Amino acid sequence: MSALRRWAIALGVLFLGRKQRRPRFADRPRIVPPGEPDPRAEWLVLGLLLCAAAAAAGFIAVYSFNHLAHQTQYLGLALGLAFAFVAAALIVVARRLVVTEELEEDYPLPGHPTTQEELEQLVTESGDRFTRQRLLLAGAGAAAGAIGAALVVPALSLGPFLDTDAFYETPWRRGVRLVDEHGKPFLLDEIERETFYTAYAEGADKEQLGSPLVVVRFQPAQLDLPAERRDWAPEGVVAYSKICTHAGCAIALFRKPTFPPVEPGPALICPCHYSTFDPTRAAKVIFGPAGRPLPQLPLFLNRENGELAAAGNFSGPVGPSWWGVRSRRPRNPS
């Protein structure tokens, strides 16, 4: 307890104690006229800096809420207030704490070692009116730290990096049927060419990242899949994850040439940033910012009832790419 009190007193002295001036350039004639200390202005500056820090902390607090009405407006307000308080503090410093003088001519430009020293003397003497430098520096540090943190915190939304295991789990494994949004199984005969379908894993949550598929049917001869994926497209039906590998939007565009000799080839396109994938060549990226192909789901045709089912899990991790995601294979639910 006594140790705590001693620490508190030490901190109080450190921050609140007026600095014992050790005049550095006392042996020389002053360049800047002396100014009166202004303790009230210093307290005002400190208060403004702490308000800035509080506003920046408020930004982080508002950001950490998931569902908050008018969140964007509150975020803007908090950050705006933080900068406004910093600006107000700087204005007070400039107007009331730094020694000002009016000169007919500019100071000569520093170039020589002696003028360099004169400049240092100028700066030091201009700060003469400060009496609680360390306290004000601590306040400025608090404001800068809080605002810096407020600017960095949104980067956390770029993607989870602590607990990513759930992202590697998909509901697909051998035998899981493809169903439409109403839960009806997809039959091969109902899948037509020149259009595209959205399919989900039977019994899985449709909102789960690994569930939705984009399904397209081609003439088997149109497909140019790698050798190890020859069996993945029964009767020319291919299935890829519907989640773009760039930023995780849904692949909502299908480009289908009416007359291929004079028109661009078939493509799956993400409407967010126009990542373009060639569905006939294992969703190879042919345009746009995506860094890797859409994961392909091997399909299996039940010859007895014509239903389509998965023959395994995806060829790669589902969803947007970020550090470390490219190399791992998805997992089945345990």
d(CA 288, CA 301): 33
| Contacts (CB under 8 A) with other proteins, residues 187-226 | 190, 192, 194-197
d(CA 295, CA 167): 14
Residue 99 sits in the site that holds other proteins (CB under 8 A): no
Judged by CB under 8 A, how many residues of this single chain contact other proteins? Answer: 26
Site string for other proteins, 295-334 (x = CB under 8 A): ----------------------------------------
**Residue 168 burial (C-beta neighbours within 10 Å; 0-12, 13-18, 19+):** middle
d(CA 77, CA 58): 10
Residue 80 sits in the site that holds other proteins (CB under 8 A): no
Q: How many CA atoms lie within 13 A of 312 on its CB side?
A: 12
Go through 187-209 and write b for each residue having 16 or more CB atoms within 10 A of its CB, e for each that does not: ebeebeeeebbbbbbbebeeebb
| Contacts (CB under 8 A) with other proteins, residues 263-282 | 263-264, 267, 269, 271, 274, 276
Question: Between residues 186 and 300, which has the closer beta carbon with respect to other proteins?
Answer: 186
CB atoms within 10 A of CB 22: 6
Candidates 163, 262, 304, 327; binder of other proteins (CB under 8 A) is: 262
- Stretch near other proteins under the rule CB under 8 A, chosen from 39-47, 149-157, 170-178, 251-259: 251-259
* Contact indicator for 237, 191 with CB cutoff of 8 Å: yes
Rounded least distance, CB 251 to other proteins, Å: 9
Question: Any residues with CB less than 8 A from the CB of 192 and at least 6 apart, and which?
Answer: 217
Candidates 253, 241, 234; CA nearest to 189 is 234
Rounded least distance, CB 89 to other proteins, Å: 16
Residue 284 sits in the site that holds other proteins (CB under 8 A): no
Residue 100 sits in the site that holds other proteins (CB under 8 A): no
Candidates 7, 43, 107, 287; binder of other proteins (CB under 8 A) is: 287
CB atoms within 10 A of CB 174: 12
Rounded least distance, CB 275 to other proteins, Å: 9
Contacts to other proteins by CB under 8 A: 190, 192, 194-197, 252-259, 261-264, 267, 269, 271, 274, 276, 286-288
